[in-house]
Structure 1
Amino acid sequence: MDTAPALRIVIVAPDTLAPDPADAQAWWEAERSRSLRIGLLEGGYNIVAVLPPDVFLPERLAQIQPDMIIVDAESQARDTLEHVVFATRDARRPIVLFTDDSDTSHVKDAIAAGVTAYVVAGLASERVKPVLDIALARFQHEEGLRRELADARTQLQDRKVVDRAKGILMSRHRCNEQDAYERLRKASMDKGLRLADVAQRVIDVADMLG
């Protein structure tokens, strides 16, 4: 039995659920938005908030901390998307864009901006969950790759710092590379610091002393 908690979703959307009856386009957008929300609820998702795409969005998202953001955008989706991307720049989350804009020329820009999935209107409510499941899996995969790349860069930088510190110790103490490394390692253990942090301190002191 699956006991995993439902994903907490924030929908970013203009207020289109009570449009002007004389505005056919607004009514179409309202029906699309209603179908999307029904699909989310039927899929077991937890809609924790529906927020407007305004300047307060970053603060509201920071307070709510959703698992996923759904951008329910009308044909002028670019401004809405810019607000969302800006709001999530420091805390990345999967972003799924549902739009009635059939012009797919913006897809590449949207994906580059951080959108995990781009869905054009017409999606039946029962297909919402599979789309979001795939979007979440893709986001998690990409975040894993991003972390691996960041770790590799950190390890490379740490290695450079340690190598430089060893060179300083070898020069000052007339010792070989292994002895210099052991000095760094012992200091690291004694002080409870990362080897690279100890090495950076050695470099900082050497630079200060000239």
Structure 2
Amino acid sequence: MPLRVVIAEDEAIIRMDLRETLQEEGYDVVGETGRGDQAVELVRDLQPDLAILDIKMPGMTGLEAAAIINAEKICGVLMLTAFSQREVVEQARDAGALAFLVKPFQKSDLVPAIEVAMGRFRELRDLTGEISALGEQLESRKFIERAKGVLIDQVGMAENDAFQFIQKTAMSERSRMRDVADRILDGSLRPDAG
């Protein structure tokens, strides 16, 4: 599957050159606009892999659009600009740009910048998934600890026995320990009843 790209560049000639270059390189340009506000809508509607945004555009700057796209974690963002000052680069980075290309750029600079942006986006997406999974594990652990407390206080089990009851019940029912803990907490499961 070719990488799907949305281009937002207010200079029509640059936008056209960019589209042709991307298509020659095997990318699929799924949308283009000259306005920052329309770029956000296109990205939301088309769900591309990458948005290439010029910094200065009417309607909304590329920095503002990048911040929204980044906050919604829709796709990677590559910023285009005629300015290479450190302050502009830092603003682009802070807005969520994963790569940066200064105009006028060479065709040979475009593909590596795209690859950098996409590599960083994948890393961020993977890290977000890991953080979410760890949060879920921590949340499950809290419910299991609470269920152990119920078994200790209400049934008089030792802590190790309470944990083993939850674990063995989950294994025998082929369910998650969290699900067993939920049933203990809502009162629908007790060792003498189950």
Given the superposition, is the C-alpha separation of residues 62 and 193 from structure 1 closer, same or farther in structure 2, using an over 3 Å criterion?
Answer: farther
* Inter-partner Cα distance in structure 2 for 1:132 and 1:204: 51
Instruction: Tell me the CA shift for residue 10 of structure 1.
Output: 0.8
Q: Which piece of structure 1 moves more, 180-189 or 145-154?
A: 180-189
* Inter-partner Cα distance in structure 1 for 2:76 and 2:55: 16
Partner of 2:159: 177
Instruction: Tell me the CA shift for residue 169 of structure 1.
Output: 1.5
Give yes or no for the alignment of 1:196 onto 2:178. Answer: yes
Partner of 1:82: 64
Given the superposition, is the C-alpha separation of residues 69 and 197 from structure 1 closer, same or farther in structure 2, using an over 3 Å criterion?
Answer: farther
Partner of 1:103: 85
Instruction: Tell me the CA shift for residue 88 of structure 1.
Output: 4.8
CA contact (8 A) 2:44 2:74 kept: no
Alignment of 1:117-196 (within 5 A): 117-185=99-167, 188=170, 194-196=176-178
Q: Which stretches in structure 2 are left out of the alignment for 5+ residues?
A: 188-194
| Cα offsets for 1:55-104 (capped at 9, x unmatched) | x5544323311111111333889723213432453343110001112323
Structure possessing the higher relative contact order (Cα contacts under 8 Å, 6 or more residues apart) = 1
- In the comparison of the two structures, how many residue pairs are matched? 187
Partner of 1:65: 47
Partner of 1:25: none
Identity %: 29
Partner of 1:10: 6
CA contact (8 A) 2:9 2:57 kept: no
